[in-house]
Amino acid sequence: MRTLLANGVDTCFMNPGTSEMQFVSALDRVAGMRAVLCLFEGVCAGAADGFARMTGRPAATLLHLGPGLANGLSNLHNARKARSPVVNIVGQHSTQHLLHDAPLTADIEALARPVSGHVRTVARAADMGREAAAVVEAACAAPGQVATLIVPADFSWSDGGEPAPVQPRRSPSWPPAARIQEAATVLRSGEPTGLLLGGRTLLPAGFEPASHLAAATGARVFGSRNGGRYGRGGGQQSPVRLPYFPEAAEAVLAAMKHLILVESQPPISFFGYPGRRSELAPPDCQFNTLATVEEDGVAALHALAQECGVELGAAPLLPVPQPEWPESSAALTPDAIGRILAHLLPEGAIVSEESVSSGEPILRHLLSAPAHDLLPVTGGSIGQGLPVAVGAAVACPHRKVIALEADGSGMYTPQSLWTMAREQLDVTVVILANRRYRILDIEFRRTGAGEMGPRASEMVDLTRPELDWVKVSEGLGVQAARTATVAEFAERFGAAMRQRGPMLIEAVME
């Protein structure tokens, strides 16, 4: 714990068990570690991801043996795809006990590898500090990754471990000059060219130089769907995020002869479908990598601007027409919610977004809201939105966090609400309740399965019984209200923006 703290890891989202009791015990001897209890490991993992997206530095998890890790894996998958640094600490049986096939014995390293860039099991007590320093260093390897440290219980309860010194933090490397020149040549060619931004270039420090380059050369600026954090709103020239469905994404990219990749990769569709290619750029589009995902794309964009002779002042803000306020008596729709949010979102809000089929109109209107950060689902594993909101709120206690959560996806990690209540996090959860896995109505047809019969339809139906999110939320300690009209939703959401602390609003939609 001393080594973690010395290396800047001061927050731990935990669900400990017997094998992790010594780490818990150290909380009373070592000052400085914020310990946040979660009732399910998927909350720990997603919260560590949200924390990392907002701070750029890792939080720790503390998970109980193989099954505890298993419960965290799907949100660690999302963290991996977001390239978030996470120090993932998993307890293990004592080494003597591991010789036997105890009930909880499982191959923890095998479980960790698919989501981790670094997996180590401590080999002796004396290595505890060194391994703790190494796992932080690995988590912070640019651009960031899940690094897993497995700690046998006997090394936790034995003497002999010493804190390790602080590891020097390496910055992401600069791309070679040749790539800058190649990208400049493409931009100067006059052929239709897009800059596809990813990673840290989706924040103002990256998209502002990109927008200057675009203004000077006629290039377009696109945002990869894989980013973990997008700076948006407030008239900022944030890139056009590629749409979810491949037809729409293909249309956005249709004219491009060149795509310059900046901390991004060639764009592909979310799913494969019958008779459709996975690539979203036109077949004759050529790719140039300006900066790989491991490299410093912001520095690369500055170098590219210099190479192209483009001046980088403050990027001009765009005029932002606010959408019309919806009619008060109207039924709630994603469109109406998006309009209300565009008006009421406070400046500097953090939006954790897992609204699935309701997302498109909301996110479109949110572009007209004041400047905010958007944290979308990166790895497609639903059950991320509420935990990421927990982590973002712990990371940024002075910023309002809004979790836009579909009713289906919210049910994967509802335990997050309890941690919001316990830590009195300033999170407003909006449950977009359409009582259905609505996205699957669309995907069903897209995969060639035709029209849904009654039995298939039951498998995407959430009306029998209806989820009562107000009761679920209150049961977990978070004040809640149900809204079914524009007026009701606007009143509750407005009130939530004016107060602090956790609040859930169930938006029952048509």
Instruction: Give residues 35-74 in contact with a copy of itself (rule: CB under 8 A).
Output: 35, 37, 39-40, 42, 65-68, 70-71, 73-74
Binding mask 1-30 for a copy of itself (x = CB under 8 A): -------------x-xxxx-xx-xx-xxx-
d(CA 414, CA 436): 17
Of 470, 481, 496, 504, the one binding a copy of itself by CB under 8 A: 470
Q: How far is the CB of 383 from a copy of itself (least distance, A)?
A: 7
Of 166, 449, 500, 510, the one binding a copy of itself by CB under 8 A: 449
Cβ–Cβ under 8 Å, residues 193 and 210: no
Total number of residues that touch a copy of itself (CB under 8 A) = 109
Interaction of residue 94 with a copy of itself, rule CB under 8 A: yes
Distance of CA 341 to the CA centre of its chain: 20
Token pair of 424 as six digits: 């009195």
Q: By C-alpha distance, which of 241, 205, 88 is closest to 151?
A: 88
Interaction of residue 125 with a copy of itself, rule CB under 8 A: no
Q: How far is the CB of 284 from a copy of itself (least distance, A)?
A: 18
Interaction of residue 222 with a copy of itself, rule CB under 8 A: no
Of 32, 176, 218, 272, the one binding a copy of itself by CB under 8 A: 272
Q: How far is the CB of 468 from a copy of itself (least distance, A)?
A: 4
Q: How far is the CB of 193 from a copy of itself (least distance, A)?
A: 22
Q: Between 458 and 510, name the residue whose CB sits nearer to a copy of itself.
A: 458
d(CA 179, CA 189): 15
Binding mask 418-437 for a copy of itself (x = CB under 8 A): x--xx---------------
Of 180, 195, 472, 486, the one binding a copy of itself by CB under 8 A: 472
Cβ–Cβ under 8 Å, residues 352 and 344: no
d(CA 319, CA 309): 27
Cβ–Cβ under 8 Å, residues 358 and 333: no
Cβ–Cβ under 8 Å, residues 356 and 439: yes
Cβ–Cβ under 8 Å, residues 244 and 356: no
The beta strand positions in 307-380, using DSSP E, are: 349-354, 372-376
CB atoms within 10 A of CB 123: 11
Q: Between 278 and 322, name the residue whose CB sits nearer to a copy of itself.
A: 278
Q: Between 114 and 165, name the residue whose CB sits nearer to a copy of itself.
A: 114
Of 223, 379, 385, 387, the one binding a copy of itself by CB under 8 A: 379
Interaction of residue 154 with a copy of itself, rule CB under 8 A: yes
d(CA 505, CA 478): 10
Of 173, 278, 322, 499, the one binding a copy of itself by CB under 8 A: 278
Of 380, 494, 495, 510, the one binding a copy of itself by CB under 8 A: 380
Residue owning tokens 């923890």: 108
Q: How far is the CB of 68 from a copy of itself (least distance, A)?
A: 8
d(CA 471, CA 479): 9
Of 106, 126, 215, 216, the one binding a copy of itself by CB under 8 A: 106
DSSP string, 67-114: HHHHHHHHHHHHHHHHT--EEEEEEE--TTGGGS--TT---HHHHHGG
d(CA 290, CA 296): 10
Stretch in the footprint of a copy of itself (CB under 8 A) among 190-198, 204-212, 316-324, 411-419: 411-419
Positions 223 through 252 that interact with a copy of itself (CB under 8 A): 225-226
Stretch in the footprint of a copy of itself (CB under 8 A) among 116-124, 253-261, 277-285, 323-331: 277-285
d(CA 201, CA 203): 5
Stretch in the footprint of a copy of itself (CB under 8 A) among 52-60, 167-175, 324-332, 470-478: 470-478
